[in-house]
Amino acid sequence: MTYVNTAKCVGEVYAACQQVCPQDAIHFVRAIPAGYPSEGQPWMAIDPARCNDCGKCAPACPIGSVVEGANADSLWAQINANLGPVFQGQRATPRGTGEAPRRPDNTLLSR
Ligand code: SF4
């Protein structure tokens, strides 16, 4: 099993997940490559080969973009698996987790 970052993160990139990951398993995708959904948009990829399922990233995300298990979002699980290794070592500049989402279809989770 692994944790999966979903499409909610596209264009948001709070990057709180990357701050808490003890495995350096989450990488900044500055622009999603051609051939994938949301091509050209920024996003974060979780490399399932590095993730140890600690679960710290999911509650760290202020919009609930990270889900548990590949079956929770099989399309984006595959995208994480494909792009995670490609963008290994890329760090995002974190946004404040209280900052309003950029997309109207995302909402801040109450904590
Ligand atoms: S579950 Fe833990 S190891 Fe896996 S990506 Fe999230 S924070 Fe990193």
Q: What is the pLDDT of residues 29-67, one digit of tens each?
A: 999 999 999 999 999 999 999 999 999 999 999 999 999
Whole-number Cα distances in Å, 25 to 33, 61, 80, 109, 110? 19, 15, 10, 23, 26
Residue 56 falls inside a structural domain: yes
Choose one of 51, 67, 83 to mutate for the ligand 1 pocket test, by most ligand atoms within 8 angstroms of C-beta. Answer: 51
For residues 85, 105, 72, 4, the Cα torsion angle rounded to the nearest 10 degrees is 20
Residue 106 falls inside a structural domain: no
Q: Please give the distance, rounded to the nearest whole angstrom, from the Cα atom of residue 2 to the centre of ligand 1.
A: 8
- Closest-lying ligand 1 atom to the alpha carbon of residue 17: 7
CATH code, domain with 66: 3.30.70.20
pLDDT tens digits along 8-23 = 999 999 999 999 999 9
